[in-house]
Amino acid sequence: MREVNGVPGTRPAFSVKIPYDAPMARERLSRRIETELRALDPGTRIVVLCVGTDRSTGDALGPLVGTELMRSGCPLFDVYGTLKDPVHAVNLEDTVQRIGKTVSRPFVIAVDASLGQLSSVGCIQFGSGPVRPGSGVNKKLPPVGDVHLTGIVNVGGFMEYFVLQNTRLSLVMNMANVIAHSLLEAVERSRGRIIPAASPDGLPSFPPE
């Protein structure tokens, strides 16, 4: 149970799903994230935990988001999980423990790739509660996050590991771009910072680290 504006309580459950290429997708997602962040106590530290690995195209969504957030240099949140230092099945539990030891009562936003129905591929889901990494490929990992952002990168239900390996990089990068900039804008607005101008093409470059 988390304090909201200094009052102990439980936030109502919610879930929204927005196609990454829908009109105003970035703005709509950003405003919804901002609503949740404005309900937090001002002293709450925001942690963005990006789960995944660049060894699988579909599973690289989290590290791509983390890399773009790190490149922003924004001091208003902590980021775990980048292309250089990914958070995955091997080190997820250790990373969660490290966050618990270094940040007092953090608000954790978990970011991960997921598989779903064909009609949902390309959609970004923002919802209350944790994400369950590895569930799509039958891995038992601890649930993480006070809220979660998941990108549905491909179709689930059959040979999930193979499907993740053969997901289009273009789709994953475009979804990562929307998630990263939506998060950044939401945090900047909720914490009273001026948002930097977007790049001309609106796409992340993701240079080598």
pLDDT at 170 over 80: yes
CA-wise closest residue to 172 among 199, 138, 206 = 206
- Size of the chain in residues: 209
**Which pTM was predicted?**
0.86
CA-wise closest residue to 114 among 23, 52, 65 = 52
Interatomic CA distance for residues 91 and 109, integer angstroms: 18
- Confidence grade of residue 1 (pLDDT, cut at 50, 70, 90): very low
The pLDDT tens digits of the residues spanning 28-55 come to 999 999 999 999 998 999 999 999 999 9
Amino acid identity for residue 158 in this structure: F
Instruction: Provide the pLDDT for residue 93.
Output: 93
Instruction: Provide the pLDDT for residue 132.
Output: 86
CATH top-level class for 15-190?
alpha beta
Per the prediction, the chain carries an average pLDDT of: 87
- Confidence grade of residue 193 (pLDDT, cut at 50, 70, 90): low
Interatomic CA distance for residues 200 and 161, integer angstroms: 35
The pLDDT tens digits of the residues spanning 79-121 come to 999 999 999 988 999 999 999 999 989 999 999 999 999 999 9
